[in-house]
Amino acid sequence: MTVLRIVVLIALALVLALPAGRGDAAASDRVPFVACASDGQAGPRPGPKDSGHAPAVAPSLAGKLAYYASADLSVLAPRGWHCIGLYGSNGATLVVTPEAHQAADVLKPNFHLTGPAVELSLSLGSTSGRFEVAQVAARLFPSQRAFVQRIIAEGIEPASDFPFGPYPADKLTRRSNTDVEFQTPAHANGMGTASFLAKNASPISGVAIMTARGDLVVVDVRTPPGSSDVTASVVAQTRAASSSL
């Protein structure tokens, strides 16, 4: 299955999914669409055109959120931010931040986001993305231990790259064997910092979901203080989207 096909499914699911408890259209508003340029193996790609299918959210959140979409991924994030996408054979990533970044910035060694950010990633379990899938599975999904062991047995990456068990500081909420919400506390390393987000004085929240096809969807969210409703909406929409994969 191609990255593009997976993204189409994610976008369709986001269109249809509403935050929990606000299921009727009369109690929801659509958020604005923001096109995100991206860069990767085949070179730069422009952002997609607005299809008019931005997801609907509760009216109390509509003024706070926008729908950011690259050619490969789509995610809710705070309104007025900037976005950039990356893609390759392993999957795709979409980064949304208050400040603007170019792909060349994000691809620099040791690039980190030290402030608020939303990062959505899709790792493909049937390609080179399987290593990222296995690393997260070792941390969060005990039911996938056999898969992790198969990846280790390939001998391409050392077994030490796949530590089993959660990060010590992380707070986990297990929704299913393959759906885990996490919060990495302030000033701590964890799932939240296994991304472009560097630790700082604010926690990082998110969710990691392994799909029925063996792919991995992860969203990392660090919003300004007082934005817990925005964080919860981003996580909920990511979960709703992944359920169709």
**Of 159, 162, 118, which Cα lies nearest the Cα of 137?**
162
pLDDT single digits (tens) 192-224: 999 999 999 999 999 999 999 999 999 999 999
pLDDT single digits (tens) 7-60: 433 443 343 333 333 334 446 899 999 999 999 999 999 999 998 888 899 999
Enclosing domain of residue 149? 3-242
CB within 8 A of 138, min separation 6: which ones?
144, 145, 148, 162, 163, 164, 165
Model confidence, pTM = 0.88
**pLDDT attached to residue 31:** 96
Q: What is the DSSP letter of 193?
A: G
DSSP lists the bridge partners of residue 96 as 83, 118
Question: How large is the average pLDDT for residues 68-74?
Answer: 95
**Of 41, 206, 10, 14, which Cα lies nearest the Cα of 122?**
10
Work out how many domains the chain is built from and give that number. Answer: 1
Residue 89 has pLDDT above 60, yes or no: yes
**pLDDT attached to residue 241:** 85
Question: How large is the average pLDDT for residues 89-116?
Answer: 96
